[in-house]
Structure formats: C-alpha cells, structure tokens
Amino acid sequence: MNSINFILLIFFGLFSSPIFAQDSRPNVVFIAGEEEYGAHWTLPKIADDLERRFNIHSTVIHSWRSGAHDYDMPGEIEIPEYEEIKNLEIIKDADLVVMHIRFRLLPPEQLQVFQDYFDSGKPAIAFRTTSHGMWAKDQKGWFVPFFGGHYKGHMPNTAGTTTIVPAEQIDHPILRGVPKKNAMNDVMGIYITAPLNDSAIPLMLGKTGLIGPAQPVTWTNEYQKGQKIFYTSLGGLESFVDPGFLNMVYNAVYWALDREVPDNGVLGIDNLSYWEEEAPFEKYGFGALNENPFELLEEDLRLENRIVLDWEFKPSSPPNPPKMNIPKDAIVLFDGQDLSKWKHWDLSADPIAMLPDARAVSPSKTFPNARWNIIDGAVEARPGFGSILTREVFGNYKLHLDFLIPKEPEYIPSGYKGSGSIYLDGRYEIKIMDSYAKEFSKVSNGSIFNQKAPISNPSKPVNTWQSMDIIYRQFIGQRPKISVILNGHKIHNNVSILSRSPFAIREDEPLYESNYKEGSDIFNMNVDYWGADVKFKTRTGGFLLTNSPDSRPWNDDSKGIAIYDGQLWYRDGFEYRHVQRKNEAPLNDGEWHEILMFADSGKINFYIDGKYMDQIKNRGSSILKGHILRIGQATKRFKLGASELPDPIRDETFDGEIERVRFFKKGLNETDETWAISKKFLVLDWSPDRLKNKLPKMGPIRIQSDLSKIRYANIWLQPLKD
C-alpha cells in the first residue's frame, strides 16, 4: 500500500468513526413556557429520559415571562408589547416539537417561525395550556388551525377528570398500554375544548363529575394532509405521576417520529422505576385508577386496571329505525333525509350556555350547518364536534323522537354509558342514558336531570330503538311544566321545574323592565323613602330586583338584591353586603319566601318572612341617567377578566320563580314604617298572573352530544293549544 492510499484510509476512517459521524438520532425540541402546571419541571425530565434511554436527541427551550404570572390584572402590571422565546429558531431543524406554553406575547417574526414549522408538515405535540398559548387579542385563535380544537374555559379545578376512550379508538397506537377509563386524582378541571375541526380525531373524551357535555381531552389532528399532530388538555404535575398518562406521552413521541409503538406502550406497564424514584411530589397511588373512585376491593382494583389496559370490543350493527307516523298538524324536524331544520351548536355558540374565559378563549370557526352524520335514516351524535339546535324557536308543544343507544365497552361506567340529552327551550335537560334494568334516579334515562327522577324505568336494552314523547308548556313569567312518556309509559306527569339545568342557554329576558324615566326617578334605589316587597322560591338563586343601566355595564349607582349560596345579599354598586345572618335558614330550599325592604334616612331595613334581619347603609346618586328597574336580572356583562367581550351577554338571571314584586314610593312627610305595605304608595304591583298577554315562552330545542354515539330518528313536534 502506497503512502497516499494509507493517508486516505486514515482520513476517511476517522471521519466515519463515531467521533466525526453526524448525529442520526431524531431531534426533538421541547418548549416550556408556562408557570401554572409545572412545564419547566416536567418537560426537561421527559427530554432527559428520552436522551438517556430511547436514543432521541432532546433540547429544551425555556420561555420565561417578565413581571406577572397572568396578564389579566389591569392597572397592576405593565404588559409589554412583545416577549420573545429565546432560541426559538432552532425548531427549524427539529424532527418534532413538544410544547407546553401559556399566554406568550410573541413578535411577528417568531409567530412566523411557528407558522413555517407547521407549514412544513412536521409533527408536533402539545399539552394543556398550549390551547391558550398566546395572549394578544389577534393571536387567540393561533392554536385552532394547527391543533384542531379550542379553549373556551374549564370546569372547576380540584374536581379532577375522568377520561374515556371511545370504542373505535381502543387500538390506536398512542393508547397502547393506556387505561381506556381513568379517574385521575388531580386538581385539573376538564377543559372546554369542543368543537373539534373536521381534521381532528378524538382519542379520549372526559368529564368533571357527571355534568356534561363530555369534552375532547386527547386528539390527533392533520393541519397538512398526513401531518401528525397530538394534543391533550391533561398535563399538570399530577398527570406526570400517572403511569397511563406517561405511557401515552411516550407513545405519542414514538407515533410522531414514525417509530413502532410496542403492544404495551413505550414504557410498558412495569417500566416506571425512573419516575417512581424522582416523583415531583407525594403520589396518591400509582395504579391505573389512582383514586379508586368506585370503591373497589384491592383485588378487584388490580383486575380493573388490567381490564382497562387490555380490552377488546366488538360493536353490534344497529337496526334501522322504525317507520315515522306523525299527526297531521305536526312539524317534522328530522325525517331521516336531511338536517336542514337544525344547526350546529356548542357551549359558546349563539345562544351561549357558558361565560367564556375571555382572557384566553379561542374564536370558533362558524359552522352554519349541523355536523352530525346521517346513517341509515337516523342522525348519529358526534361526540367532540358539537350538538344540534333547531333553527326555529317553539313554545308549548309535544315533541316526539326515537333513539337508539349503541352497545359500548364494559369499561365505561354506568353513569357515563349511553349518555346524551334533550334540552327543552335550550334550558331544561331530559337525560338519555343506558339505564336498562338499573335503579332509576335523577340522572337516569328519562330523568329531568338532577331535579326529578322518573316514577318508573321502562328503558330498553342497548342497540334497541326506544321512543320518547315530551309535553312541554311554559308561559312568560311562569315556570315550565313537563310530562314525559318513555316507551309508552308515563314517567313524569306535569312536573313543575324550578331551576334551569347545567349548561342551559343564558339568553333569558328579565321578567319586567321599566322605561328610562321610571327607572331613573320612581324606581331610584339610591334615594330615601322607597320600599320593595318580593315573594319568590328557588333552589339556586340569582338577582331578584335591580336598578341598573340598560345598555351600559353595572356602575357605582347600580343597586340590587340577590340570593347567593342560600343567603340574601344587597349589591350596592360594586360592594356586596351580606344581609342574612349565617345561622338563618337558607333561602334556596325550594319553598316560598318573602323579602320586605324599605329605605329611610340613608339606611335600608330588611325583613325576611316577617322577621327583621338587618339595617344596611345605603348610598348613591339621586340623579340617574339611563337606569331601569329589572325583575329577575341584573344587567348585561361587557367584560370578563381584563378582556372585553365581543358582544355583551345577559348575566345574573334569577333561576327560580317570582310570584310578586311590589315597589312603593313614600312621601317625604311620612314617618310610619307601615307605609311599606300601604297601597297608597304603591307604584308597581307585578306578578306573572297579571300579565296582559299570556304568551308561551319561545325557545329552541337542543339535542346534546355527550359521550355516546346515540342515534335519533323520527323527530317531530306538535304545537299545543294555549
């Protein structure tokens, strides 16, 4: 061998050695940019583990905000125009980006870096608060096209989350070795994430308690055709000591990098010692069902864990719906052919059913039409993609529908299986549930949800068509009355409903509104020498009587009385003053109560059910402009947090029944306290029975998607004579 060949051999040999070889490992960049759920701790831990044990090159970028934890404290902090994520440009060379960010204020050039990354078709993974990753008003929709879902708000924290894997996703690679049902012992309330884009596929649905509708918790999305994008609204510190969650995260990394996911998941079900040794805080248990919410014996809990990890399910083919037989005067809402009488609806769509978190809410794409699927003459609910709402409003009617609850895996708990709802007037929920051969209750099939249990249980087995007829009557100013016939058996007979159901639409009108002149003069509650008498009953509460602006926000001269947590409160401008003593009986017991109050010499005296309660200082302006008196409502709400609402919404409507409101105006020379019940000074005597026109309360009908793909058919409505 000549010297030249020898030198070349050494040269190429050196550069082919590991010292000079290019790193062929996948390059994953983690972006930790939130201070609420521990991303600065959890993401580096995963990155380090992937580097050490799974042959993945990992880099972590930390994004810290200067100043406050949140930007929703107007006047307390100075919000910068932009705050960069340092070294963000390295994602250009990443094979995968994993992010957990919240309320970032990125300059346009860094937003473009993200845009270029997603346009490239590369994969991405995101956790919890990334759904509201940007703070600027014109960036709140940043998450939606890339990840295919939303953030509207969340259920109460500390209440935890129960997740359910839909039957059709049992075998998805990301869910291998992951519990198909998981009651997570954490402090994270479920995020309101629906509606998903059509490009998304829900892998998990979740609920906080039994109150629905279920929300997508985990899903995949395709921003570009074939692109692998994964998001989960889980991801607090507590999640990262849950073995099922961890296995899902590692599976998602493998899936995104086109690696084969093992049958039991990347971590398996025993390979968790690394996390057990360095848990972020004391664990509450380390099984697939951490909290053991169904109080299983230890041996049953182990069996339950195995079942929810390794599950096979064979669905049944639903039969065709029965033939439609309708009265001549009925209005057909669905005939098996089209959904033209219905439109898409979700919790933040008009008319809204929740107060959106205006700091962070992502704007929804407008879906003008219903998004459910028509299959074999029936319409099938589409969990995670919204509900359907009638385009027209109706009052006093008989509603008929047939429904079929599909066969579902046994791992789904009885309180979740076959779950859906019919909302009358958009406010009163009739529950659909798999309740065959089960005890009936306030949450079972045919119940008036959480208010009235059916008197019997004629429910049929799953995969069988059932029929329901609902007779609904309500007149303006009065409570609704509902009768329900399930499978030919009357299970509710003219039941008077006192409270709206959870997630009822909020667009209630006040029971009474004065004009401007009366509201600013006769009904001015800032001055002396007036009185009011209110008779009511409720199981929840709200504002009974207010004097506040008509088309402007509540102000310092606004006044009102309200029931909160069973107690009477007087709202004086922006101050809440407790009237009722804590040891007094609650006023939200569903019984009739009467409040008498009268103002004199700068103070208001309060009586409840004839018993003297308290005397409270009254203040305010004797000159009002644009104020009106309302019965059963406060005013409109114009903002939430530090953010203006795009459209003011009606707020603080009384939930209950008001039988009478009388308002008195006393002459300045009167001194006798008995004036407050004297007809001589009566300027308003209101009751629903005195309404000149007894008109039916008009509202839409909503069929709500929950956890189950329930099918509905033969939906018609027959108007009732008043």
pLDDT higher than threshold 90 for residue 1: no
User: Per mean pLDDT, which range of 218-232, 262-276, 386-400 is the poorest?
Assistant: 262-276
CATH of domain 27-155+191-204+212-283: 3.40.50
Q: Which two tokens stand for residue 481?
A: 């009355």
Model confidence band, residue 293 (pLDDT cutoffs 50, 70, 90): very low
Predicted confidence (pLDDT) per residue in 358-372, tens digit = 777 777 777 889 999
Model confidence band, residue 672 (pLDDT cutoffs 50, 70, 90): low
End-to-end CA distance of the chain, in Å?
109
Predicted confidence (pLDDT) per residue in 424-444, tens digit = 998 999 999 999 999 989 999
CATH of domain 512-690: 2.60.120.200
pLDDT higher than threshold 90 for residue 110: yes
Compute how many other C-beta atoms are within 10 angstroms of the C-beta atom of residue 112.
Answer: 12
Give the Cα separation of 352 and 360 in Å (integer).
17
State residue 669's pLDDT score: 45
User: Start-end ranges of CATH 2.60.120.200 in the chain?
Assistant: 512-690
pLDDT higher than threshold 60 for residue 627: yes
pLDDT higher than threshold 80 for residue 472: yes
State residue 713's pLDDT score: 98
State residue 111's pLDDT score: 96
Chain-centre distance of CA 82, in angstroms?
Answer: 31
Model confidence band, residue 507 (pLDDT cutoffs 50, 70, 90): low
Give the Cα separation of 238 and 284 in Å (integer).
9
CA distances from 564 to 196, 544, 571 (A): 35, 11, 11
Q: What is the arithmetic mean of pLDDT over 694-710?
A: 89
State residue 550's pLDDT score: 82
State residue 308's pLDDT score: 55
User: Start-end ranges of CATH 3.40.50 in the chain?
Assistant: 27-155+191-204+212-283
State residue 644's pLDDT score: 63
Model confidence band, residue 198 (pLDDT cutoffs 50, 70, 90): very high
Question: Nearest-CA neighbor of 122 among 258, 310, 317, 266?
Answer: 258
Is residue 40 exposed (0-12), middle (13-18) or buried (19+ Cβ within 10 Å)? middle
CA dihedral sign of residues 258, 232, 708, 198? negative
Is residue 400 exposed (0-12), middle (13-18) or buried (19+ Cβ within 10 Å)? buried
Q: What is the arithmetic mean of pLDDT over 566-570?
A: 92
Give the Cα separation of 421 and 211 in Å (integer).
11
pLDDT higher than threshold 90 for residue 212: no
Q: What is the arithmetic mean of pLDDT over 104-124?
A: 96
Residue that wins the pLDDT comparison between 70 and 45: 45
Q: What is the arithmetic mean of pLDDT over 658-680?
A: 69
Q: Which residues contact 268 (CB under 8 A, 6 or more apart)?
A: 177, 247, 262
Predicted confidence (pLDDT) per residue in 171-188, tens digit = 999 999 888 888 765 567
Model confidence band, residue 573 (pLDDT cutoffs 50, 70, 90): confident
Give the Cα separation of 376 and 392 in Å (integer).
25
Question: Domain 331-505+700-719's class?
Answer: mainly beta
Residue that wins the pLDDT comparison between 355 and 578: 578
Radius of gyration of the chain (CA): 30
CA dihedral sign of residues 145, 35, 183, 312? positive
Question: Nearest-CA neighbor of 394 among 696, 73, 611, 74?
Answer: 696
Model confidence band, residue 722 (pLDDT cutoffs 50, 70, 90): low
Give the Cα separation of 326 and 331 in Å (integer).
9
pLDDT higher than threshold 90 for residue 398: yes
State residue 38's pLDDT score: 86
Model confidence band, residue 621 (pLDDT cutoffs 50, 70, 90): low
Percent of the chain with pLDDT over 90: 49
Percent of the chain with pLDDT over 70: 82
Q: Which two tokens stand for residue 567?
A: 């107690």
Residue that wins the pLDDT comparison between 482 and 540: 482
